[in-house]
Amino acid sequence: MIRLTLRFASALTLVALSMPLFQAAAQQTEPVAPAAPAPAGPSPAAAPVFPKPDPADFTAASPTKEVVNAFMQANLGFDEDNIWQVQAILKTPVEGLSKVVVFIGQKSGKQKPNRFPFYVLPDGKHIIVGEALIAFGEQPFAEYRAQLQKRADGPYRGAASKDLELVEFADFQCPHCKDAEANLEKLAVDFPKARIVFQNFPLVQHREATRAAAYGVCVAKLGGSSAFFTFASTVFDGQEGLATTDGATLTLNSAVTKAGLDLTKIEACVATPATTATVEASVKLGLDVNITSTPTLVINGRQILANLPYETIKQMVLYQMKLDGLTP
């Protein structure tokens, strides 16, 4: 279930709202002052004219303007209507900490341009936006991609290759995760060379989610990925049953039976410390790659909401493939 309020309704459109960078920026942007008085009467939308940067506002040696532009391209280049301008890269009283200001708008002029400030940490690999820590750099998704290629070990469908790896972090009791399953099914059809992995990320507010995750781990262990996805589909279909302890037991047992597995063996597996450790490791992985909500889909390290309109998700997959040099 989404825990962040997505209110950055400016030049970034629905897709950008799904990204951690702009989730964190929800309260950090402000309208850009017009460069000149607007003419009287209605006029057709036009690309914004950003204020001319002042060379005096570029006092920090790092990051460079080129790095900031590459970072923005990675995040916003999916839509050719998005435009931006690096307005300032400033030293701060803290050694190695720089303040960056970027103006963001749209060529079409459909949305008002905004001023987007953030702080780059001394390591040059992270920025602070509001209370969030976000990956930064010319290839901001590379580190998370590498972590997931190494550690994402949940059941998967599609290719064995990890060249295009789509990792879904989900909670069986999350209604938005249930809604997202149709998107994952379509991705499996449209991108047969993708490896689509399911990682458990049960939220603490869902009291039966961790038990459901443990059942899923054991189904995958004893029956393989095919049995797991049958189980998962059945649990999501009967999700309302997870609202109570007794209802959860009936729902999970039914899903195990539907997956063709021995319920006694599954229950024995669920009770083991190893199963608990597997669920906890999946949650730890999510936290390590900055997962803050469910359902989150990570496309080669790039996070988006998994329940966005399907065509939007498909657009993001294709763009990330382009960035990574993969052939659609």
In this prediction, residues 175-204 reach a mean pLDDT of 97
Average pLDDT, the chain: 89
Q: Are residues 190 and 305 in the same domain?
A: yes
Burial of 166 by CB count in 10 Å (0-12 exposed, 13-18 middle, 19+ buried)? buried
Gyration radius (Cα) of the chain, Å? 22
Q: Are residues 109 and 176 in the same domain?
A: no
> How far apart, in whole angstroms, are the C-alpha atoms of residue 262 and residue 253?
10
Counted domains in the chain: 2
The rounded percent of the chain whose pLDDT value lies above 90 is 81
pLDDT at 170 over 60: yes
Q: Are residues 243 and 272 in the same domain?
A: yes
- Range with lowest mean pLDDT among 23-32, 235-244, 319-328: 23-32
In a domain, 328, yes or no: no
Choose the final residue of a domain: 82, 112, 139: 139
In a domain, 64, yes or no: yes
The pTM (predicted TM-score) of the whole model is: 0.86
pLDDT tens, position by position, 59-71:
999 999 999 999 9
For residue 20, what are the domain limits?
13-139
pLDDT at 261 over 90: yes
> How far apart, in whole angstroms, are the C-alpha atoms of residue 113 and residue 132?
22
